[in-house]
Amino acid sequence: MGCKNCCSICLQCLFGYETNVMLVINNKGVGALFRLIQFMIIAYVRAYQDTDSVISSVSTKVKGNILTNTSIEGVHVWDVPEYVIPPQGEKSFFVLTNVIPTPGQTQSKCPEIPSEVTKCESDSDCIEGHTEVHGNGVQTGHCVQYSDTIKTCEVHAWCPLENDTIIPKPALLGAAEHFTVLIKNNIQYPKFNFRKRNLLHHINSTYLKNCTFDRKTDPHCPIFRLGHMVTEAGEDFSVMALKGGIIGILIDWNCDLEFPERFCIPKYSFSRLDNKNPENNVAPGYNFRFAKYYKNNKSIETRTLIKAFGIRFDVIVFGMAGKFNIVPTIVNLGAALACLSLVTAICDWVMLTCMKDRDQYAKRKFIHLNQNGDSVQGLA
């Protein structure tokens, strides 16, 4: 008998034919699960487009003038060549907002700025040829009078030395918030042979002379007021101008090329990029030094050292474009069909393991028929 049963089972396995049984289950929970999984799969593999990343070039042109009157330099007009440093940056530009000038420096000897390592009592406290990492020159080996009460080591340096402990307040060039910048941005998606620039078709010379970017009234104007960009980044220009900082100009070129070219337009946003954490405010802002060299009336090389504070604007362009392509469509369609076939298996498992009527479901789901087409048994 055991051998006959074994042979019967083997014959059933070899010559049995399986086909799906369609059952309509009126169960809201399982039905909702079935549709939810279907929706998630379709949403996940719905992509039918080929995509490409944006390639971009940027050029900028700042305009504006400022008149200042200080005790050190007197009346001074600042124009673009003087406050935009360097004249052309790589997708960025720097605008000077505050300065600490040290005019009339020449190569000579002078007492070092007082600090814990430069103060001295006698020449024995100073080492000839020694340089401090945070110092201003090379020590001569002499201890000299810095003031009536303080002595410091003498140094070979550009004298008089810079004293940057007091930062001008308000910022010397705080009016730079009224400056404007023209941003010209050319982009392309090579895969789709698509090119465009942020000077849209309706923009002409007359329009450029009169427009300034405004998110509500002029969202496509490529001329931006510096103060407006800083405000949109959530900052106060007068405060930021004191010690400088970095502002990101973000240009979003995400485009669906299924639609006409006119719908592919840039979207602008602004954000502060440098650290502004009040709990870790070491070396805040943005600054550097440069010098203007000339010969004095005695033909001695002289310079004006400038510690420059300002705002660097980084233009960051990003975007993706999509367009219909038959290859990703077929691939994603195949993936969707394969995944959808799993939905029934998942719901069957739920019915067989979690539902109260799972035994009745199993009897109707798995039916064995004999050669005459009669039902033999239901298997769970």
**What's the pLDDT tens digit per position in 36-93?**
777 776 666 555 678 899 999 999 999 999 999 888 888 989 999 888 988 777 789 9
Q: Is there a contact between 248 and 272 (Cβ–Cβ < 8 Å)?
A: yes
Per-residue pLDDT, 324: 77
Estimate to the nearest angstrom the gap between the alpha carbon of 285 and the chain centroid: 18
Residue list for the binding site for ATP: 61-63, 180, 287-289, 307
Residue list for the binding site: 61-63, 180, 287-289, 307
Which residues of the chain, if any, have pLDDT below 50?
A: 378-380
Q: Which two tokens stand for residue 273?
A: 């990029």
The fold of the 53-112+161-323 domain, in CATH, is atp-gated p2x4 ion channel fold (2.60.490)
CA-to-CA distance for 340 and 73, rounded, in angstroms? Answer: 77
SS3 213: coil
Per-residue pLDDT, 379: 44
CA-to-CA distance for 86 and 92, rounded, in angstroms? Answer: 10
Q: Which two tokens stand for residue 302?
A: 């002289």
Per-residue pLDDT, 325: 72
Per-residue pLDDT, 250: 97
What are the structural domain ranges in the chain?
Answer: 26-48+326-365, 53-112+161-323
CA-to-CA distance for 26 and 159, rounded, in angstroms? Answer: 93
CA-to-CA distance for 26 and 360, rounded, in angstroms? Answer: 13
Task: Quickly list H helices, 45-133.
Answer: 80-83
**What's the pLDDT tens digit per position in 86-140?**
877 778 999 999 999 999 999 999 999 999 999 999 999 999 999 988 899 999 9
